Amino acid sequence: MILGVLGSGSGSNLQAILDAIDSGRLDASVAIVLSDRADAFILERARRHGIVTGVIDCRGFRSRFPEDAQRETAAVLRGSGVGFVCLAGFMRLIGAPLLDAYPGRILNIHPSLLPDFPGLEAWKQALAAGVVETGCTVHIVDEGMDSGPVILQERVPVLADDTPESLHARIQQAEHRAYPEALRRMAASSLE
């Protein structure tokens, strides 16, 4: 399983994937890590592991992912031999050019039990809603926002004294277990 990772932030989920690979829990390799932010720490994490990195040119758009940028990204991923794409804190919606290049093979992790609390800062949405449980979801990416088929979910209780920061930290711990496991399951099902 050859992975390409797209991220916009620190890359803690990339690190969890790399740790799972290094420990033998996940039979995969990461061929390339791309970011829409040249200063994103995910690129530094990748470089420290000897992984090729690159910056996606989104034509100056703050949140939009232009179709030509998606086509270029797909070409770079294909040129790197990538079979599956992992979104790891990538904060742009994926559209047809990238979805068509990797049908059913782009995964995302989201900090809630989808379909509850799609979109940004799901842990804050969960606290505001007063739920007693939230978690994380690994899903296949489609054209909607956090709407694709679920591969795996891990539940996290909401504690009475939780702050947005404490709840988010526990959800991230769950994410770091769930993402490598979901990739392992995807690899196993692609061999069947």
Q: Does the pTM exceed 0.85?
A: yes
CATH number of domain containing 91: 3.40.50.170
Share of the chain above pLDDT 70, in %: 98
**pLDDT band at residue 63 using 50, 70 and 90 as cut-offs:** confident
Q: How many domains does the chain have?
A: 1
110 has catalytic annotation: yes
Report pLDDT for 127. Answer: 95
**Length in residues, the chain:** 192
From the candidates 110, 139, 168, 176, give the one annotated as an active-site residue.
110
pLDDT digits (tens, 9 = 90+) for 91-141: 899 999 999 999 999 999 999 999 999 988 999 999 999 999 999 999 999
For 148, the domain range is: 2-191
Q: What is the reported pLDDT for 27? A: 94
pLDDT in tens, 152-181: 999 999 999 999 999 999 999 999 999 999
